[in-house]
């Protein structure tokens, strides 16, 4: 595996993304909206709810908000990966790319990098901005800075990257089966369901998402699924399969 070859493939995709506004919007707009919205909720609780929310309730709310960023980590790579792979199919540019002295693994890793890097940077970056905003806004009620803590660090720096990888893998599999970017995005978005399920379980008090042990169990399960999907992706991303069977 030559990382330089993979990086050329990724940098080519970055150059293409810069030309597509909808990809830029999906990387920037949704995280900005989520960050503004949850920060506003924290501000509202502080200034308008007149003390009806106790510090204990706030410490349940904040980890749930940080978990929203894991859901985001499924949305952004979905848009990028669908354009990266289905876009190549639509433009029929995969054949000349495969004819270069680049291995299947290098192309796949390049595609993975192209979806992973902006996804992780956007989610972790905006998650960090939310943590700073939430600390400033909640300090009055809590009397201390809630973030960073072990659970938020685990979510942002462990679970989010794994969620992004899962999302990219899922989208590679989906993209091999469809030839329309929008359908790829719709089907690719299904990867959000398990993340949303975990979030809802936290909201319904079925899982305590503030408990570091629970988060590590979830992370281990996600990493296991990630490995299984990697085998499926490697089997799908073979040059002969791409040229003769991908629809």
Partner 1 sequence: MIETDGLTKKFGNLTAVDGVSFKVGEGEVFGFLGPNGAGKTTTVRMLCCLISKTSGGARIGGYEVGNDGDSLKIRKMIGLVPDNVGLYEALSAYKNLDIYGRLYGCPENQRKESIQRFLTMLGLWEKRDTAAGTFSKGMKQKLAIARALIHDPQVLFMDEPTASLDPESAKTVRDFILDLKKQKRTIFLNTHNLDEAQRICDRIAILNTRLMATGTPDELERMVGNRKAVIKLEKMSDFVVDSVQKKFPSAKISVEGVQMSIDIPDVEMKTPDIVQVVVQAGGRIHFAGAVGSTLEDTYLKLVRRDQ
Output the smallest distance, CB 176 to partner 1, in A: 16
Min dist CB 150 to partner 1, Å, is 43
Q: Which helix (H) or strand (E) holds 175?
A: helix 160-175
In the complex, least distance from residue 232 CB atom to partner 1, rounded to whole angstroms: 21
The nearer residue to partner 1, 15 or 220, going by C-beta atoms, is: 15
Q: Considering beta carbons, is residue 48 or 92 the nearer one to partner 1?
A: 92
Q: How far is the CB of 177 from partner 1 (least distance, A)?
A: 19
The two structure tokens encoding residue 176: 């091999």
The residue length of the chain stands at 247
Structure tokens at 181: 């970017």
Whether residue 172 contacts residue 109, with contact meaning beta carbons closer than 8 Å, is answered with no
Min. distance of Cβ 159 from partner 1 in angstroms?
33
CA distance 75 to 95: 28
Nearer to partner 1 among residue 31 and residue 110 (C-beta): 110
Nearer CB in complex with partner 1: 41/98:
98
**Cα separation of the two ends of the chain:** 27
Task: Kindly state the tokens that stand for 39.
Answer: 């920060």
Residue with Cβ nearer partner 1 (96 or 140) = 96
Q: Shortest distance, CB of residue 41 to partner 1, whole angstroms? A: 38
Nearer to partner 1, 20 or 196 (CB): 20
Coil, helix or strand for 52? coil
Q: Does residue 131 contact residue 152 with C-beta atoms inside 8 Å?
A: yes
Residues 67, 64: Cα–Cα separation, whole Å: 5
| Coil, strand or helix at 179 | coil
For 189, which DSSP code? G
Which residues contact partner 1 by CB under 8 A?
Answer: 5, 8-9, 12, 15-16, 19-20, 91-103, 239-240, 243-244
| Tokens 């952004």, located at residue | 76
Judge whether 136 and 43 are in contact, CB under 8 Å.
no
Structure token digits, residue 72: 């985001």
């Amino acid at each position: 595996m030559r990382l330089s070859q993979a990086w050329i493939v990724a940098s080519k995709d970055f150059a293409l993304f810069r030309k597509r506004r909808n990809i830029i919007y999906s990387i920037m707009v949704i995280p900005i909206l989520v960050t503004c919205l949850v920060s506003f909720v924290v501000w509202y609780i502080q200034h308008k709810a007149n003390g009806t929310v106790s510090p204990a309730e706030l410490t349940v709310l904040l980890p749930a908000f940080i978990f929203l960023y894991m859901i985001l980590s499924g949305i952004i790579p979905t848009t990028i990966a669908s354009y990266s792979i289905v876009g190549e199919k639509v433009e029929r540019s995969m054949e000349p790319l495969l004819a270069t002295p680049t291995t299947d693994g290098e192309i796949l890793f390049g595609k993975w990098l192209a979806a992973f890097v902006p996804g992780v940077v956007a989610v972790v970056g905006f998650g960090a901005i939310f943590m700073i905003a939430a600390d400033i806004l909640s300090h009055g009620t809590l009397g201390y800075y809630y973030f960073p803590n072990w659970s938020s660090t685990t979510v942002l720096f462990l679970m989010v990257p794994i969620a992004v990888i899962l999302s990219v893998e899922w989208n590679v599999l989906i993209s091999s089966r469809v030839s329309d970017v929008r359908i790829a995005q719709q089907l690719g978005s299904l990867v959000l369901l398990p993340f949303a399920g975990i979030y809802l379980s936290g909201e319904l008090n079925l899982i305590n998402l503030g408990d570091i042990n629970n988060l590590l169990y979830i992370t281990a399960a996600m990493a296991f699924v990630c490995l299984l999907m990697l085998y499926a992706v490697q089997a799908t991303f073979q040059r002969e399969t791409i040229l003769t069977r991908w629809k």
